[in-house]
């Protein structure tokens, strides 16, 4: 039964094979006819060109005979002239019949016929004058240059006719060649297809088995790809969950650090030149608190919850400005090379965070090279296509500015490479690192809508490639230099809104210490009451995350009534309220907790110096 089915399937294939062979024979016959037609066109063109050359040669011979007769008065010189006049009509007639199917060539021949007639008339007139012994009149006629101009025009027309015919021949030959090539390919294809059909009939059983095996293999590959994607998705979900946890912890931790840092700093200022041992202990405590603040910044960077201020950035300029800092940081035994791409696009990125990422990567490379080797920083324009994006999570196809940091260190094993971006994962000895360096870089790049990739080989080294989103033309146009005029006026009132009592006490003390008049408020509702009783308040310094109405909602509520009120936000966890898609809102001024008095002074001066829109 199965054999009968195979025979029934084979019969149409065999008939199709015979039909293809007949088609191949027909195509070969047509190719032969086409070749013969091309040969005829070649012969025709050669005859046309010969007639054109003969016509011009006859006119030239007539002129040569005329010139010889004028110079010598010997009638023998008129023989070429007479012969040419006799041959020209026949040559013109032949040429006209050969090009009768070409209107453009026929039009040129008509113009040529007119010019030749004028030329022959001019030659006849000079010959007659010379025969009548009127040499002066004949020479004067020659000297007018009319005859020479006619000859130049005749030559130009004959050349145009010849060039047109040559171009027409090339066109016909090219068409013929293409036709023959197409026919040859079609013939070969038909014959090959017929052979393949016959082979398919012979090998149909084996082919079906091969198809089944290929489908099974494809299915296994799809299963493997799906498992890989699911594993990466689980990793992304794990990182997102850790990020949410990190952000929540950072908010409360930053509030505590703000109290510690603020009070320690105030204590340091008040100690003055007092007990040096006590001052030293306070300084060490303040240093530890600031390290804790730096740790929370790294955590927020890893969790993609830091407030970024991206602008259009010249990445090459950023790398060049970092070279001296990197050289001092890495030491003399590490040689830094840079290969900066020419015509580099501008990137839409937070420049200080990019500089921090470069420094992080350079320090990691130094440790991997054990303080001796070569570090290479490379920049270039690149395009991540859909295939690249499909193979990775959270990658959008498009144009990027690539920054690669390559070292000659020990490299990573596949297991270490898989966990390189995990927070708190480190291969360094205890106390030598937090394990947040690469995770901080990863979080910053992803929050900036870019991509980061690590390539490493044991004993060779490691390359970290950061793909930064290209800035648009509108973002390029928004680049400007910020200048601020700082003023200090004790009469300026600042409304401090903070729900945490200890933090509010510290911030109020700092504001008063800096020479402003601070008015405290523990909630948004109280802040609205204070604004009503103190209409001369010029700046609102408010926490973002508060129970009930948050800082942004407070600003939106009071802004219609106090349009000139300046606003400075403070927070250790700005997400959602004033940060969207990882980017700080354009109309927002923000200071991140914990902050020092110097940082608060700078932000307050900047806020008072800015124009209120």
DSSP string, 379-403: EEEEEE-HHHHHTSTT---EEEEEE
Q: Which of 77-81, 256-260, 554-558 has the lowest mean pLDDT?
A: 256-260
Closest by alpha carbon to 595, among 518, 516, 507, 528? Answer: 507
The CA-based angle 526-530-531, given to 5 degrees, is 115
Q: In the listed set 477, 507, 534, which residue is the last one of a domain according to the structure?
A: 477
Residue 1 neighbours by CB distance under 10 Å: 5
Chain mean pLDDT for the chain: 76
Give alpha helix (H) positions in 384-541: 386-390, 414-418, 437-447, 473-477, 501-513, 524-533
Residues written for the chain: 613
- Rounded (5°) CA angle 249-251-256: 95
For residue 434, the SS3 value is coil
Report yes or no on 388 lying in a domain: yes
Q: Within a domain: residue 282?
A: no
Q: Which region, left, alpha or beta, applies to residue 577 given φ > 0 means left and ψ of -120 to 50 means alpha?
A: alpha
Q: Give 3's pLDDT tier (boundaries 50, 70, 90).
A: very low
**CA within 13 Å, CB half, 482:** 9
8 A C-beta contact, residue 514 and residue 604: yes
Q: What is the pLDDT of residues 467-502, one digit of tens each?
A: 999 988 776 555 433 333 334 455 689 999 999 888
Residue 583 — very low, low, confident or very high, per pLDDT cuts 50/70/90?
A: low
Between these two residues, 220 and 432, which has the higher pLDDT value? 220
Q: Which residue has the tokens 């995350």?
A: 545
Question: Residue 359: which CATH number?
Answer: 3.30.565.10
Instruction: Extract the tokens encoding 605.
Output: 């001066």
Q: What is the mean pLDDT of residues 438-460?
A: 85
- Report the C-alpha gap between 520 and 498 in whole angstroms: 8
Q: How confident is the model at residue 2 (pLDDT cuts 50, 70, 90)?
A: very low
| pLDDT above 70: percentage of residues in the chain | 68
Q: What's the rounded Cα separation, in Å, for the pair 263 and 504?
A: 12
Stretch (H or E) spanning 292: helix 276-302
Tokens coding 424: 């708190």
CB-based contact 413:458 (threshold 8 Å): yes
Of 139-153, 228-242, 360-374, the poorest mean pLDDT is in: 228-242
**Domain containing 159: what range?**
2-202
Question: Do 52 and 184 fall into the same domain?
Answer: yes
Single out the residue of 593, 502, 499 nearest to residue 551, CA to CA: 499
Mean pLDDT of 259-268: 66
CA–CA gap between residue 171 and residue 187 (Å, rounded): 24
Q: Is residue 292 part of a domain?
A: no
CA distance 125 to 131: 10
Residues 6+ apart with CB under 8 A from 272: none
Stated pTM of the model: 0.42
Residue range 191-202: mean pLDDT, rounded:
67
Omega of the bond leading into 594 within 30 degrees of 0 (cis): yes
Q: Are residues 440 and 530 in the same domain?
A: no
CB 65 within 8 A of CB 79: yes
Is there a single domain that holds both residue 41 and residue 135? yes
Contact criterion met (CB below 8 Å) for 319 and 466: no
* Domain total of the chain: 3
The whole-angstrom separation of Cα 139 and Cα 74 is 16
Nearest to 541 by CA among 575, 573, 517: 517
**129 and 65 in one domain?**
yes
Instruction: Based on the fold, state whether residues 367 and 457 are members of the same structural domain.
Output: yes
Please check the confidence at residue 522 and state whether its pLDDT lies above 90.
yes
| Residues whose CB falls within 8 Å of the CB of residue 399, separated by 6 or more in sequence, listed in order | 345, 381, 382, 383, 470
CATH of the domain at 174: 1.20.120.1730
Query: Is residue 258 a part of any domain in this protein?
Result: no
Place of tokens 């903070």: 498
Model confidence pLDDT, tens digit, residues 400-410: 999 999 999 88
414 and 511 inside one domain: no
User: Quick one: CA dihedral 77, 81, 84, 85, positive or negative?
Assistant: negative
Q: Are 543 and 570 in contact (CB under 8 A)?
A: yes
Same domain, 72 and 188: yes
pLDDT of residue 425: 63
Grade residue 529 by pLDDT with cuts at 50, 70 and 90. Answer: very high
**Domain shared by 438 and 511, yes or no:** no
Angstrom distance (rounded) from CA 292 to CA 448: 25
Q: How many CB atoms lie within 10 A of CB 371?
A: 12
Query: And the tokens for 7?
Result: 């025979």
pLDDT > 90 in the chain, percent:
16
- One domain for residues 13 and 147: yes
Single out the residue in 202, 235, 264 at which a domain terminates. Answer: 202
Are 454 and 508 in the same domain? no
Distances (CA, A) of 132 to 64, 119, 135, 143: 20, 20, 8, 19
Residue 254 inside a domain? The answer is no
Residue 589's SS3 state is coil
DSSP per-residue letters across 518-530: EEEESSHHHHHHH
pLDDT at 406: 94
Claim to verify: residue 23 and residue 136 sit in the same structural domain? yes
**Paired sense of beta strands 566-571 and 590-592, if any:** parallel
| β-sheet bridge partners, residue 381 | 401
Dihedral angle of Cα 269, 273, 275, 280, to the nearest 10 degrees = 60
What is d(CA 414, CA 420) in angstroms, rounded to the nearest whole number?
A: 10
Is residue 180 a part of any domain in this protein? yes
Q: How confident is the model at residue 393 (pLDDT cuts 50, 70, 90)?
A: confident
**pLDDT for residue 38:** 67
Tell me, yes or no, whether 357 and 447 share the same domain: yes
Are 505 and 522 a contacting pair, CB within 8 Å?
A: no
CATH number (domain holding residue 536): 3.40.50.2300
From 202, 230, 263, give the residue that closes a domain: 202
Please name which of 53, 57, 65, 54 lies closest in space to residue 123, comparing C-alpha atoms. 65
For residues 134-146, average pLDDT: 69
pLDDT of residue 584: 58
Residue 570 domain flag = yes
398 falls within a domain: yes
Q: 56 pLDDT exceeds 90?
A: no
């Amino acid at each position: 039964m199965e054999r009968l089915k195979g025979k029934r399937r084979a019969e149409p294939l065999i008939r199709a094979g015979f039909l293809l062979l007949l088609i191949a024979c027909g195509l070969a016959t047509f190719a032969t006819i086409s070749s013969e037609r091309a040969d005829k066109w070649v012969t025709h063109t050669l005859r046309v060109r010969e007639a054109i050359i003969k016509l011009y040669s006859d006119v030239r011979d007539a002129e040569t005979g005329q010139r010889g007769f004028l110079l010598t008065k010997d009638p023998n010189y008129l023989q070429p002239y007479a012969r040419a006049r006799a041959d020209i009509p026949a040559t013109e007639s032949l040429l006209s019949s050969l090009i009768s199917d070409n209107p453009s060539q026929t039009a040129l021949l008509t113009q040529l016929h007119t010019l030749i007639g004028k030329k022959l008339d001019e030659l006849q007139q000079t010959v007659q004058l010379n025969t009548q012994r009127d040499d002066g009149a004949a020479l004067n006629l020659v000297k007018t240059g009319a005859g020479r101009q006619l000859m130049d025009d005749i030559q130009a027309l004959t050349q145009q006719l010849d060039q047109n015919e040559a171009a027409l021949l090339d066109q016909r030959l090219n068409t013929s060649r293409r036709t023959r090539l197409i026919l040859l390919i079609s013939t070969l294809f038909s014959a090959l297809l017929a052979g393949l059909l016959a082979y398919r009939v012979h090998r149909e059983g084996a082919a079906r088995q091969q198809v089944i095996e290929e489908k099974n293999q494809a299915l296994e590959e799809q299963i493997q790809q799906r498992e890989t994607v699911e594993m990466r998705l689980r990793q992304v979900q794990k990182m997102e969950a850790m990020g949410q946890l990190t952000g929540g912890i950072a908010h409360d931790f930053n509030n505590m650090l703000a109290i510690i840092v603020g009070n320690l700093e105030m204590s340091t200022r008040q100690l003055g030149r007092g007990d040096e041992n006590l001052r030293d202990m306070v300084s060490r405590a303040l240093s530890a608190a600031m390290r804790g603040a730096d740790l929370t910044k790294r955590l927020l960077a890893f969790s993609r919850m830091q407030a970024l201020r991206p602008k259009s950035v010249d990445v090459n300029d950023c790398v060049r400005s970092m070279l001296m800092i990197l050289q001092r940081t890495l030491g003399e035994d590490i040689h830094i090379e840079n290969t900066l791409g020419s015509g580099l696009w501008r990137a839409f990125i937070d420049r200080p965070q990019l500089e921090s990422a470069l420094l992080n990567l350079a320090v990691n490379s130094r440790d991997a090279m054990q303080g001796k080797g070569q570090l290479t920083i490379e920049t270039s324009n690149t395009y991540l296509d859909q295939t690249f994006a499909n193979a990775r999570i959270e990658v959008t196809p498009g144009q990027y500015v690539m920054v690669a940091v390559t070292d000659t260190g020990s490299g990573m094993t596949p297991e270490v490479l898989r966990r390189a971006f995990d927070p708190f994962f480190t291969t360094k000895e205890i106390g030598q690192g937090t394990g947040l360096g690469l995770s901080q870089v990863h979080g910053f790049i992803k929050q900036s809508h870019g991509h980061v990739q690590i390539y490493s080989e044991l004993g060779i080294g490691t390359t970290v490639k950061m793909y930064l989103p290209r800035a648009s033309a509108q973002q390029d146009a928004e680049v400007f230099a910020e200048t601020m005029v700082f003023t200090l006026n004790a009469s300026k009132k600042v409304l401090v809104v903070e729900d945490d009592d200890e933090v509010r006490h510290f911030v109020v003390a700092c504001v008063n210490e800096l020479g402003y008049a601070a008015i405290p408020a523990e909630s948004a509702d109280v802040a609205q009451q204070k604004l009503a009783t103190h209409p001369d308040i010029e700046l609102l310094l408010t926490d973002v995350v508060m129970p009930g109405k948050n800082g942004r909602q407070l600003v939106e509520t009071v802004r219609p009534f106090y349009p000139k009120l300046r606003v400075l936000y403070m927070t250790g966890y700005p997400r959602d309220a004033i940060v969207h898609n990882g980017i700080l809102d354009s109309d927002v001024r923000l200071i991140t907790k914990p902050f020092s008095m110097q940082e608060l002074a700078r932000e307050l001066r900047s806020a008072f110096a800015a124009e209120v829109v």
